[in-house]
Structure 1
Amino acid sequence: MRQKLLPGPAPADEPATAAPVKSPSSTKRPQKKVRGTGRLHSLLLGLASAALGLAAWSVLANSGIDGFPGPVEVARRAIALIGDGTLLADAGASLKRVLIGYVLGVVLAIPVGFLMGWYPAVRRLVEPWLQFFRMVPPLAIIPLAIVLMGIDETPKIFVIFLAAFLNSVVSTFQGVVAVDVTLVNAARVLGARDPQVFLGIVVPASTPFILVGMRIGLGASWATVVAAELIAAQGGLGFRMQQAQLYYDLPTIFVQLIAIGAIGLVMDRLLLLAERRLTHWQERR
């Protein structure tokens, strides 16, 4: 006959009760609270930073610097420029030039960077010329571009394209050559062909590098468009700054500077959001 096993006392060398296992739902709730607290903390820090910046600006305006405008004066000029449509028209003209040149530069830079990183022969042919043009500032090419292409939109878009292309192609190339060779060899041992290795390993691993290059290229594009508009333009934020300089109109110059920074910051935040969505698998601090 089978004897019924009765629960007896636990052995001396084993714990009497097992540690309770937390359910998945119990581990997610603290993470939500931490995320919410982190966002609130970031928001408060951002507001504090803005307040400190305005305070420092006010101190400089009241320190006796001749003609240095304060936040209130600049805000009034911004309202006036927005009211008559000048600021919106200039911002639209500069943004159009930046978007056209930037998008063209990035679209061409990504495949060129992949080709340079994947094929050593292409790398040896292209990289010397790439490094050569990287040493030449796009601003130095503006006079030559104006002489060869005229004073319309073409030279401005070209120098913006060049600035975005050079930054993006280098980042893409570095992303490809930085891929772990062990992953590539393991995929090939498992029978993956070159297209599968490229799409499954190289492209995802290079995405963070590409997006960093796009962010750097965006800043270079804005710097280039302002310089191009200072030299030859009939509209835009840089053009308005040049006109204000002739009349020593510092509030207008400040308004244009703030507009450039604000538009560039919004575009950079959008790229940062895309980076987090596309590289959600990457560990972050």
Structure 2
Amino acid sequence: MTITARRPAAPARRTAPKVPATVLGAVAVVLGVGAWSGLAAAGVQGLPGPMEVLVRGGELIADGTLLTDVLASLRRVMIGFLLGSAAAVPVGFLMGWYGTARGLIEPYVQFFRTIPPLAIIPLAVVLLGIDETPKIFVIFLAAFLSCVISTFQGVVSTDATLINAARVLGARDRVVFARVVVPASAPFILVGMRIGLGSAWATLVAAELIAAQQGLGFRMQQAQIYYDLPTIFVALITIGVLGLVMDRLLLLAERKLTGWQERR
């Protein structure tokens, strides 16, 4: 009788506890502010420190300047972004679902994608004047071009097996489009909207070059003339915070609308 020695069981591998994202975000902010303070203390090109920027921000809040600028910029970004997204979704669906529409529209979309929205500003001023219309148009164009490609990609990336299965079951094109293509494209649309939102904020400063009297971009340009770095930092941080909050809201909507999608 042969006795076989058994190997001792391997110890269970311990997995490190997962750190919440909010904690990691707080740590990142603390590290970033600490690095900023260190660079300011070292006298890097007159870089203002966090306390100096905080004091300047308090002054702008106290006299109502920051609130006025925030409301003006938010209005322009929201109108341009919403109009751009609303136009991009149906155009993207048309390009993805109908080959004829794709052939007619895609060359123009690709053409304008190679032209920075900022380069449209002189033309927008000449054709649309110097009021709010050209500012909103430039932001609209930036959001539209970012979102339309994502929507188109969502339609053409829909699993053909799902489409064929629906047709085998007797579904007509309208039902296939509404019940299969639209839900499958939703993640792409929402990602495109997030990219479009970033493009809208990125275009804002240049858009407010057009005879603006209020707005965060306008405030930064005025501060640049007088080398007012704390005001520039206040406007930059405000744009970043507003953009981050709006992006988180879109991300929340994405999770609610695409709860069926597997995530890591």
Question: Does the alignment reach a TM-score above 0.5?
Answer: yes
Give the match's secondary structure for 1:230. coil
Query: Does the alignment pair 1:171 with 2:150?
Result: yes
Q: Which amino acid aligns with 2:215?
A: G
* 1:230, distance to aligned residue in structure 2 (A): 3.1
* 1:66, distance to aligned residue in structure 2 (A): 3.3
Could you say which residue in structure 2 is the equivalent of 1:238? 217
Could you say which residue in structure 1 is the equivalent of 2:263? 284
* 1:232, distance to aligned residue in structure 2 (A): 2.9
Find the aligned partners of 2:87 and 2:230 in 1 and give their Cα distance: 39
* 1:231, distance to aligned residue in structure 2 (A): 4.5
Give the match's secondary structure for 2:262. coil
CA RMSD of aligned residues (A): 1.0
Q: Which amino acid aligns with 2:113?
A: R
Find the aligned partners of 2:152 and 2:162 in 1 and give their Cα distance: 18
Matches within 5 A, 1:13-28: none
* Residues paired across the two proteins, number: 248
Find the aligned partners of 2:60 and 2:80 in 1 and give their Cα distance: 27
Find the aligned partners of 2:87 and 2:21 in 1 and give their Cα distance: 36
Percent identity, aligned pairs only?
A: 71
Find the aligned partners of 1:230 and 1:173 in 2 and give their Cα distance: 32
Specify which of 245, 249, 264 is matched with residue 270 of structure 1: 249
In the alignment, structure 2 segments of 5+ residues that lack a partner are 1-16
Give the match's secondary structure for 2:53. helix
Specify which of 68, 88, 91 is matched with residue 47 of structure 2: 68
* 1:126, distance to aligned residue in structure 2 (A): 0.4
Matches within 5 A, 1:3-152: 41-152=20-131
Query: Does the alignment pair 1:211 with 2:190?
Result: yes
In the alignment, structure 1 segments of 5+ residues that lack a partner are 1-36
* 1:67, distance to aligned residue in structure 2 (A): 2.0
Structure 1 length-normalised TM? 0.85
* 1:164, distance to aligned residue in structure 2 (A): 0.7
CA deviation digits over 1:181-207, x for unaligned, max 9?
111011101111111111111000000
* 1:142, distance to aligned residue in structure 2 (A): 0.6
Runs of 4+, deviation exceeding 3 Å: none
Find the aligned partners of 1:113 and 1:130 in 2 and give their Cα distance: 10
Q: Which amino acid aligns with 2:97?
A: W
